[in-house]
Structure formats: C-alpha cells, structure tokens
Structure 1
Amino acid sequence: MTRAGRDGGTRAARAILSREMAGAVFIILVGSALHFVFDWTGGWRPAALFAAVNESIWEHLKLAFWPGLAWALLPSGSGSAALPERLAVRGYSLALTAILIVAIFVSYTRILGDNLLALDIGTFVLAVVIGQIGAALMLMRGPGSGALLGVGLALLALQLAAYALWTYFPPDHWLFIETRSGLTGIP
C-alpha cells in the first residue's frame, strides 16, 4: 500500500507533492545564489565545497545537490517520511537531477553549437522540478525494501564524496572543464 493510501489518499499525495514543489523553489533559489557565493567570498576555498567555482558542468551540478540535501534535512511535518527515507529518496532524486542537467545541456549545446544563458537556466529549473516530482512519487509510495533504502543512501553518500573530492581534485574529464577557459578546478 502506498503512503498516500495509508494517510488519506489524494490529500496526502497532494501534501507530499506540494512540499516537494516548495522544495523545487527552495533548490532553484538557493542554487542560483550558490552560483555566486565563491566570488562573493573572494574565492574562499571552503566555500568551494558548496558553491560553483567555475563554469564547468560539474560545478553547476552542485547548485542542485547541496540545496536538495538541505531540503531533505529540513523537518517536514507530521505524517511525513523519516529522515533516513528522505535521505534515501534524495540519493535517487538528486542523481536524476544531475543526469538530466548533463543530458539536456549536452544535447542542446550540441544542437545549437553553443550554450545560451536562458537555456542554461531553463535546464536547471526543469531538471530540479523533474527531480522533485521523482522524489514526491517515491515518498508517496512509502518506504521500500531495505535494499532500496540502502541503495538510495549509498547513492547519496557517493554523491557527497564525489562533490567533496572532485571539487578540489577534479579529474581530467570534459565534465570538469570550463568551456570558455579550458581550465578545471578552483581558480
């Protein structure tokens, strides 16, 4: 039985979807601000963990990841999923968001031959909204098996490790190269 079925059907499903759409707004606004934090702090290296340090695709993935993780940590009211479940769902939904950002960006820039700011922003917004819809659908279903929970938590842990490590030690890969300068990592 789904969580929505146990908690009052459509009303519970709407509450979950509403919360996750509020999360989309939160992620978009906070993520947009994080785009500028590294510069605002004068290049303070600890800020690099959370904020974009250059214009590479990789650095823009952090703009959805950290606010998405913060959203999962915020208390979500009575009748909502427990923290481990919310974190596991984020493991899946934030991976989906990152995959969508990369896929949409690469697709449209290959077609157009260049990136456009309006399409970059639209890509971010669309990927975040789809990721949040995915999170809502998973939360509506309720806790899955222990294996699904474990995989979601493992996905989240891998993303945490990757963002922490590869921000400071970016691999030699096109995802990490700033398209305009050809540089990688922290300037």
Structure 2
Amino acid sequence: MHRKNISTTTKWCLTSIPLLFFIGSIFHFLFELSGDSPIVGAFSAVNESVWEHQKMLLLPVTGWWVIIYFFKRTRHQIDTRKWFAGLAASLIFSVLTIPLAHYFYTEAFGVGFLIVDILILLLAVAVGQCIGIHVYKHSKGIPLYASLIVVLLIFFIFILFTFYPPQLPWFRDSLTGQYGI
C-alpha cells in the first residue's frame, strides 16, 4: 500500500470524528422524533439507559465505513478484508467505550454530569475510529465473512435487547426505571 493511501485513510478517520459525533447525537432524539416508531427504535436510543446510548453509534459508524468503502475503494485501492476488519474493530471499541467511561466516572466519583456524558460520545467515536483505522493500516485483515458476522451480530444483539432487555442496571432507563421500548 502506498504511503499516500495510508495518510489519506488517516485523514478520513480524523475528519469523520466530529461528523459522527454530530450524527450520533441526532440518534439520541430520533426515536422520540419518529413518534416512537419501533423500527427507528431498533437503531436509535429509546430511553436514557447506558445500553441505549451505545446505539447512538451503530448506524453512524457502520454507515461511515460502508460509504467510504464504496466511494473510495477503486481510486484509493482499499483492501476489502482489512477495511471491514477495521469497521468491526471500530464498532466494537466505540460501543464498549461508552459503558466503560460512563461507569468509570459515575462509580469512581459518584457523580453524573450531562456534559461528561456528551463528551463520552465524542470519546467513543474517537476511540473507535482510531482503533478501526489502526486495524486497517496495520493488520492483515480477517476473512470478510468474519467481519460481517461480527457487525451483524452486534446489530442483532442491540435490536433484540431493545425489545427484550435483560433486567439489569445497564438496560434500565435512569429517568423512568423502565427497560427497552
């Protein structure tokens, strides 16, 4: 891979962070704006639980990786296996960053601040995108089907737990005490 392509992909990653943060923020409100549509709720936050806030990243992050792939794959010689391994890594790490950061600061310091919760979304996007692009640039990739299975499994789990959430604190709406839709 040419040095120019590597720096270009890094630039795409870094410029995507504020965009994905903005789009992810919109996903916080989509369910309510849709009139509580279950279809929209499957992919956007339906309540104020930590679990549902992770969904603010599912479609934006996945969409970014897929769109960039289809627009840039030929001109920039994107390696498909490595690119979708990067997508899977980005999705896993961005989604995991939210509960890890949230529970760290709320449990360690016994406080909760809206501004910190908002910054956690920005942190999650940045961590996911940087790890994803690192995987793309430095790994040998994994079979395409394996990456796609990981991504589809993540979506399946989030959709399932939107409608059938476990009765655990991670899934409980912090305002109403209810679970899921």
Q: Do residues 141 (structure 1) and 138 (structure 2) align?
A: yes
Of 119, 127, 130, 2:127 maps to: 130
Structure-1 separation of matches of 2:81 and 2:7: 22
8 Å Cα contact 1:23/1:68 also seen in 2: no
Q: Structure 1 residues 80 and 125 mapped into 2: Cα distance closer, same or farther (>3 Å)? A: farther
The corresponding residue for 1:90 is: 87
Of 135, 154, 160, 1:159 maps to: 154
Q: Do residues 46 (structure 1) and 39 (structure 2) align?
A: yes
> Structure 1 vs Structure 2: percent identity of aligned residues?
25
User: Could you report, residue by residue, the CA deviation over 1:29-74 in whole angstroms, capped at 9, with x for unpaired residues?
Assistant: 1110111111111212211012111000111101011100111110
Q: Do residues 119 (structure 1) and 112 (structure 2) align?
A: no
Question: What are the ranges of 5 or more consecutive residues in structure 2 without an aligned counterpart?
Answer: none
The corresponding residue for 2:7 is: 14
8 Å Cα contact 2:95/2:124 also seen in 1: yes
Structure-2 separation of matches of 1:15 and 1:126: 22
Q: Structure 1 residues 181 and 132 mapped into 2: Cα distance closer, same or farther (>3 Å)? A: same
User: Could you report, residue by residue, the CA deviation over 1:81-118 in whole angstroms, capped at 9, with x for unpaired residues?
Assistant: 25554333221111111111111100000123232111
| AA in 2 matched with 1:165 | L
Structure-2 separation of matches of 1:83 and 1:152: 10
Question: What are the ranges of 5 or more consecutive residues in structure 1 without an aligned counterpart?
Answer: 1-5
Of 91, 95, 100, 1:103 maps to: 100
Aligned CA-pair RMSD: 1.8
| AA in 2 matched with 1:160 | F
8 Å Cα contact 1:73/1:83 also seen in 2: no
The corresponding residue for 1:173 is: 168
Structure-1 separation of matches of 2:135 and 2:177: 39
Q: Do residues 24 (structure 1) and 17 (structure 2) align?
A: yes
Structure-1 separation of matches of 2:7 and 2:97: 25
Structure-2 separation of matches of 1:19 and 1:80: 14
1:12 shift after superposition:
2.3
1:26 shift after superposition:
2.5
Structure-1 separation of matches of 2:160 and 2:78: 30
1:121 shift after superposition:
0.8
1:80 shift after superposition:
4.2
Figure out how many residues of one structure are paired with residues of the other and give that number.
Answer: 177
